[in-house]
Amino acid sequence: MGDIYKRAMARSVIIIGLMGWATTAMAAPKKIAVLEFVNKAGLSVEEAGFFSDLVRTEATSLPQDKFAVMTRENMLTMLPEGTDLANCEGKCEVETGRNVGADFVVTGRVIKFGKTYKITVKMHRTKDGFLVAGHRVSGASVEALEAPLAKKCRQLFARLNSRSATATTTTPETAKTAPQTRGPVAAVVKAGPGTTVTKTKRKKRVKSKAV
């Protein structure tokens, strides 16, 4: 009995440990990496850096138990020395997000079209490159881009948060539906002495024999 008790206790400890590890893993916040904006509008380094910092600031409005915003310095320590985040476009954006361990990567591009400045901001899911959302803002000056960009970023991260909430509430248990019964339900009718069973398509009727 002593050996059986010890083995049972050992199993219980292992199961509890695994449950704790699974809970911690499930609760780990998703990491968001915001890369430096690609500057095609002739902005100064400080101006372009201001816009990427603005996006990071807006990202911190997300629930901290669900999302963690990576800093510029944190990302650079994980990348090869000399990496320029502002010269990363196309597939490089998603690949860089993966390299720094991010779940989502946000990128921006600034251009000047005639006399108008335009910013395009996009968010990709790093595991498969899926485009979660994207927005574009315009302004007659660099200063005019700040307010609309902040507004679009709030919309961007609100959408991400709503997608996360939907994924959390939709579990395998809640997705299951009750099995449906098709066709007539079979019934068992016991025929006693002096009775006969008449079968129909959907039910059974019992008629008494005429005496």
How does pLDDT run across 67-112, given as a tens digit for each residue? 999 999 999 999 988 888 888 878 889 999 999 999 999 999 999 9
How does pLDDT run across 169-205, given as a tens digit for each residue? 444 444 444 445 455 444 444 445 554 444 445 545 5
Query: What pLDDT score does 169 carry?
Result: 45
40 Cβ contact partners less than 8 Å away, ≥ 6 residues apart: 109, 110, 111, 112
Is the predicted pLDDT of residue 46 greater than 70, yes or no?
A: yes
3-class DSSP string for 172-185? HHHHCCCCCCCCCC
Residue predicted with more confidence, 159 or 14:
159
Extended strands (E) in 27-91: 30-34, 38-40, 67-69
